[in-house]
Structure 1
Amino acid sequence: MTPAARLSAAIEILGHILDGDAAEKALTNWARGSRYAGSKDRAAVRDHVFGALRCKRSFTTLGGAQTGRGIVLGMLRAQGVNPDEMFTGIGHAPTPLTDEERAQGDTPEGNAALDIPDWIAPQLAASLGDDFTAVCHALQKRAPVFLRVNTLKTNLKQAAIDLAGENIQTTPHPLSPTALEVTENPRRVHLSAPYNDGRVELQDAASQAVVDLLPLRPDMRVLDYCAGGGGKVLAMAARASASYFAHDANPQRMKDLPDRAERAGASVTLFEPEDVAASGPYDLVLCDVPCSGSGAWRRSPAGKWEFKPEKLDQLREIQAEILTKAAGLVAPNGVLAYTTCSLLDAENSEQIEAFTTGSDWKCTSQTRFTPLDGGDGFFCALLTR
């Protein structure tokens, strides 16, 4: 595919996303119907689509229309590329621009320039303070690829050497002693031996840093109450040889966890929802609760535009409910850990304040990471009675 043909594909896929398709579904459907596209073509088109979604509002303003074509036109203008060089109509290139399209488009300002929905901008600004603008700009860019070195099988130095042997270059990241940032050939990671035999896992550096904050001891009984795919419980298992248990309200989310644990050399017991209370109490209960995902919007940029005020209200109710339920599973001298990948105080410090007010729980520490620290945005609070 030519560069212009890749843009045509991105225009088509963005159109489906604007019509309501999930980004991954739209990309998958396009790839299935475009057998001529090689792996480099698919990767390039994917990069165009996700880059456009991160900056959908500013590109729409620059392009003059919230359509796949308008967004790609705005993207080219933002990159300083003459759109007429790509919109030629030759081969599979987008059709030439009309005089109207050439005349359309304005310079984005305010929240449009920051690619933030107007309704959530005040809450983000209040939560981030002086970092608001810089964080918004960070969310417009592609996220780094991070690996967690599984210390059950190797160490940071050896993992970097092994990856380099497969032409995957990495560098240690200061957020966590187990974090490697992939600097060359990130798309080779899934094919590499260190990944497939469990020496490294894909995990954001800030997510690893959250696990580093947890007070683990070898004699503990540890419950990951919202385990999902199991990234954090596997990271905990590599830190200390405690007894680990995983639960999720939707057990299907944990379907790959047994295989991942076996590959990592870790032992994790999975619970059905009805079994978790009967097996308690636990010395440490981690609640990585459902949230806005605002700290990871550069990885899942469609979520930024789909998120609505009513969804935030629903999430805050769910978070409060999880805190209350999980608190009842903590041993008398145990620790309750509350984490999100959100940048919003409404989901973070305000939830902790509401939970501890009038209760026998107290917050012993709160830590927030933002994309300015290098990884995604995360929040972690530790609570004891």
Structure 2
Amino acid sequence: MTPEARIATAAEILDEVLAGEPAEKALTGWARRSRFAGSKDRAAIRDHVFDALRCKRSFAAIGGAMTGRGLMIGLLRAEGRNPDEVFTGQGHAPAALSEDERAAGHAPSEAEAADLPDWMLPDFTVSLGEGWQQVADTLRTRAPVMLRVNARKTTREDVLPLLAADGVIAQPVEVSPTALVVVEGARRIGGAAAYLNGLVELQDGASQAVVDRLPLAEGQRVLDYCAGGGGKTLAMAGRVRADFYAHDANPRRLKDLPDRAERAGVPVKLLETGMLSARGPFDLVLCDAPCSGSGAWRRSPEGKWALTDASLTQLNRVQDEILDNAQSLVSAGGVLAYATCSVFQRENQDRVAAFISRLPDWRVLWQKSWTPGPEGDGFFAACLTRAAG
């Protein structure tokens, strides 16, 4: 496919997404219908689609329309390119621009330029202070591909040449002693021997940093209360030898964890909700709570546009309920850890403060935020324990 044909295809797929089709489903459907497209074509079209979704408001503003064509025109103008050179109508290129399309477009407003919904801008500025613009700009870019080294099996230094032998070039980063950022060959990770043998796992750097801060010790009983796919369960199990348990309100999310745990060489027991009280208490309970995902919107940009003020408030209720339920599972002198991949104060510091106000016999040991950047997504974590006496 020519570069122009890729732009035309991305515009068509974006129209499907704007009509309500999930981006991954729209891309998969197109790929199945288009066997002629090679892997480079699919990758380039995917990049165009997700670049447009990350920057949907600003591209629509300068492109003149909230349509697939408008977003692609906006993408080209944002890159300093003349859309007339791509929209030629020749071959498989998109149809030539009309006079109205050439004249359309305007300077983005503050929220449009930041690629945020209008209602969200006040929350963003309150949560991030003077750094809000930098975070908003970061969320408009592609996220790094990162790996976690399984310290039970290898070291960062030893695994690098093994990855390189399979065409995956990675570099150590400072955010965590187990973190690597992939600089070349990201699409080869799934077939790399180091990955297949459990030496590395795909995991964001800030997510690893959260686990690094948890007070884990040999022989503890540790529960990952909102385990999801189990990434943090495996990261914790990679640090110390302890009894690890994983639970999620939707057990289907845990279906791949037994195989991943076996590959990583770490034992993990799965617990259904009805089993929690009988198997507790636990020395450490981690609540990686459902959240807006705002710290990871580079990876899942559709979430930014789907979130509403009302749905964020509902998430806050769920987060409060999770903390209230999980605290009863913590042993005397144990630790309750709360984490989100969110940058919003409403989901982070405010939830911890609300928990303490409801249960004043608890106190905060520490809390910390990580903002999205070259070494990871945006995250928040806090550790709490019951006050003495």
Q: Fold match, TM over 0.5?
A: yes
* Separation in 2, partners of 1:192, 1:127: 40
How much identity, in percent, do the aligned residues show? Answer: 58
Q: What aligned pairs does 1:1-385 form with structure 2 within 5 A after superposition?
A: 1-359=1-359, 360-372=361-373, 374-385=375-386
User: Contact between 1:134 and 1:372, CA under 8 Å: does it hold in 2?
Assistant: no
Distance 1:351 1:260 in 2: 32
Contact 2:143 2:374 in 1 (8 A): no
Distance (Å, rounded) in 2 between the aligned partners of 1:223 and 1:314: 25
CA distance in 2: counterparts of 1:234 and 1:260, whole angstroms: 8
Equivalent residue of 1:239, what SS? coil
Provide, for residues 237-288 of structure 1, a one-character-per-residue CA deviation record: whole Å limited to 9, x for no partner: 0000000000000000000000100111110000111111211000000000
The SS at the match of 2:364 is strand
SS in 1 for 2:332: strand
One-letter amino acid of the counterpart of residue 169, structure 1: I
Letter paired with 2:52? A
Structure 1 residue 107: Cα displacement: 2.0
Query: Which of 117-126 and 159-168 deviates more?
Result: 159-168
Asked if the contact 1:367/1:381 (under 8 Å) is kept, the reply is: yes
**Which 5+ residue runs of structure 1 have no aligned equivalent?**
none
- Give the whole-Å Cα distance in 2 for the aligned partners of 1:78 and 1:216: 47
CA contact (8 A) 1:224 1:285 kept: yes
Q: Distance in 1 between matches of 2:322 and 2:268?
A: 21
Q: 1:67 deviation in Å? A: 0.3
* Offset from partner CA, 1:30-64 (integer Å, 9 cap, x none): 11111111111111110000000000000000110
2:218 touches 2:242 (CA, 8 Å); kept in 1? yes
Count of residues in correspondence between the two structures: 385
SS at match of 1:77: helix
Equivalent AA in structure 2 for residue 366 of structure 1:
Q
Q: Distance in 1 between matches of 2:209 and 2:37?
A: 39
* Per-residue CA distance 1:178-227 (angstroms, 9 max, x = gap): 00000111111112111111111000000000000100011100000000
Partner Cα separation in structure 2 for residue 190 and residue 37 of structure 1 = 21
Distance 1:78 1:283 in 2: 52
Q: Aligned partner of 1:290: which letter?
A: P
CA 1:358–1:290 in 2, change beyond 3 Å: closer, same or farther?
Answer: closer
**How many angstroms does 1:25 deviate by?**
0.8
> Deviations 1:297-347 (Å, cap 9, x if unpaired)?
111011101111111011000000000000000001100000000000100
AA at the equivalent of 2:35: R
Q: Deviations over 1:111-155 (max 9, x none)?
A: 111111110110110010011001001011000110000111111
8 Å CA contact 2:12, 2:68 repeated in 1: yes
1:199 and 1:45 map into 2 onto residues whose CA distance is 31
Question: The residue matched to 2:215 in structure 1 has which SS?
Answer: coil
- Kept in 2, the 8 Å contact 1:148–1:201? The answer is yes
How far is the alpha carbon of 1:374 from its aligned partner?
Answer: 2.9
Corresponding residue SS for 1:274: helix
Structure 1's 358 and 16: CA in aligned 2 closer, same or farther, altered over 3 A?
Answer: closer
Q: Which runs of 5+ in 2 are unaligned?
A: none
The separation in 1 between residues aligned to 2:358 and 2:90, in whole angstroms, is 69
Judged with a 3 Å threshold, the aligned counterparts in structure 2 of structure 1 residues 122 and 17 are, in CA distance, closer, same or farther, namely: same
Any idea what SS the aligned residue of 1:277 has?
A: helix
Q: What is the TM-score normalised by the length of structure 2?
A: 0.98
- Contact preservation (8 Å) 1:341, 1:378: yes
In structure 2, distance between residues paired with 1:213 and 1:142: 26
Q: Distance in 1 between matches of 2:124 and 2:278?
A: 40
Asked if structure 1 preserves the Cα contact closer than 8 Å seen for 2:181 and 2:375, the reply is no
Deviation of residue 358 (structure 1)? Answer: 4.6
State whether residues 218 and 241 of structure 2, in contact with CA within 8 Å, keep that contact through their aligned partners in structure 1.
Answer: yes
* TM-score, structure 1 as length reference: 0.99
Check conservation: 1:175, 1:373, Cα contact below 8 A.
Answer: no
- Distance in 2, matches of 1:125 and 1:91, equals 47
Q: How large is the Cα RMSD of the aligned pairs?
A: 0.9
Given residue 163 of structure 2, which amino acid in structure 1 is its aligned partner? L
Aligned-pair CA distance for 1:4 = 0.7
Measured in 1, the distance between the counterparts of 2:191 and 2:219 equals 36
Classify the secondary structure of the residue corresponding to 2:278: coil
The whole-number CA distance in structure 1 between the counterparts of 2:125 and 2:30 is 37
Deviations 1:8-35 (A, max 9, x none): 1101110011000111111111111111
Q: Is this contact kept in 1: 2:206–2:378, CA < 8 A?
A: yes
The range that moved more, 29-38 or 245-254, is 29-38
8 Å CA contact 2:59, 2:74 repeated in 1: yes
- Superposition deviation, residue 109 in structure 1: 3.0
Single out whichever of 369-378 and 264-273 deviates more from structure 2: 369-378
**C-alpha deviation, 1:372, in angstroms:** 3.7
Once residues 227 and 260 of structure 1 are traced to their aligned partners in structure 2, the CA distance between those partners, rounded to angstroms, is 13
Q: 1:143 touches 1:299 (CA, 8 Å); kept in 2? A: yes
